[in-house]
Amino acid sequence: MVEKGTYRVKSGLAEMLKGGVIMDVTTADQAIIAERAGAVAVMSLERVPADIRAQGGVARMADPARVKEILAAVSIPVMAKARIGHFVEAQVLEALEVDYIDESEVLTPADPQYHIDKWAFTVPFVCGARNLGEACRRIAEGAAMIRTKGEPGTGNVVEAVRHMRLMNKQIRLVLSAPPGELMSIAKETGAPYQVLLAIREKGRLPVVNFAAGGIATPSDAAMMMQLGCDGIFVGSGVFKSGDPEKRAWAIVEATTHYKESEIVASVSEGLGEAMVGISIDEIPPHEMMQVR
- Give the residue from 79, 84, 117, 81 showing the smallest Cα distance to 98: 79
Does residue 39 touch other proteins according to CB under 8 A?
yes
CA-CA-CA-CA torsion for 202, 205, 207, 208, nearest 10 degrees? -120
Residue list 201-260, contact with other proteins (CB under 8 A): 252-253, 256-257
* 16 binds other proteins, rule: CB under 8 A: yes
Distance CA 131, CA 137 (A): 10
Residue type, 139: I
By CB under 8 A, is residue 65 in contact with other proteins?
no
Report which secondary-structure segment, H or E, holds 125: strand 125-129
Name the one range near other proteins by CB under 8 A: 56-64, 102-110, 117-125, 162-170: 117-125
Does residue 40 interact with other proteins by CB under 8 A? yes
Q: Does 1 bind other proteins (CB under 8 A)?
A: yes
- Pairwise CA distance, residues 249 & 269, whole Å: 12
Q: Does 72 bind other proteins (CB under 8 A)?
A: no
Among 15, 29, 181, 188, binds other proteins (CB under 8 A): 15
Whole-number Cα distances in Å, 119 to 7, 23, 113, 122, 204 = 9, 26, 18, 8, 22
Nearer to other proteins, 94 or 134 (CB): 94
Choose, by CB under 8 A, the member of 19, 56, 190, 242 that binds other proteins: 19
| Residue 23 in contact with other proteins, rule: CB under 8 A | no
Whether residue 167 contacts residue 148, with contact meaning beta carbons closer than 8 Å, is answered with yes
Gap between the Cα atoms of 53 and 173, Å rounded: 35
CA distance linking residue 71 with residue 104, whole number of Å:
20
Which of 46, 89, 94, 220 forms a contact with other proteins (CB under 8 A)?
94
Q: How far is the CB of 63 from other proteins (least distance, A)?
A: 19
- Cα–Cα distance measured from residue 238 to residue 184, given in angstroms and rounded to the nearest whole number: 42
- 244-256 and 28-36 helices cross at what angle (nearest 10)? 40
Distance of CA 274 to the CA centre of its chain: 20
Catalytic residue among 81, 118, 149, 240: 81
Residue among 87 and 100 whose Cβ is closer to other proteins? 100
**Contact call for residue 41 and other proteins (CB under 8 A):** yes
Active site (annotated) includes residue 81: yes
Examine residue 261 and tell whether it contacts other proteins (CB under 8 A). no
Q: Which of 88, 120, 122, 187 binds other proteins (CB under 8 A)?
A: 122
12 interacts with other proteins by CB under 8 A:
yes
Positions that interact with other proteins (CB under 8 A): 1-6, 8-9, 12-13, 15-20, 35-41, 71, 75-77, 94, 97-100, 122-124, 252-253, 256-257
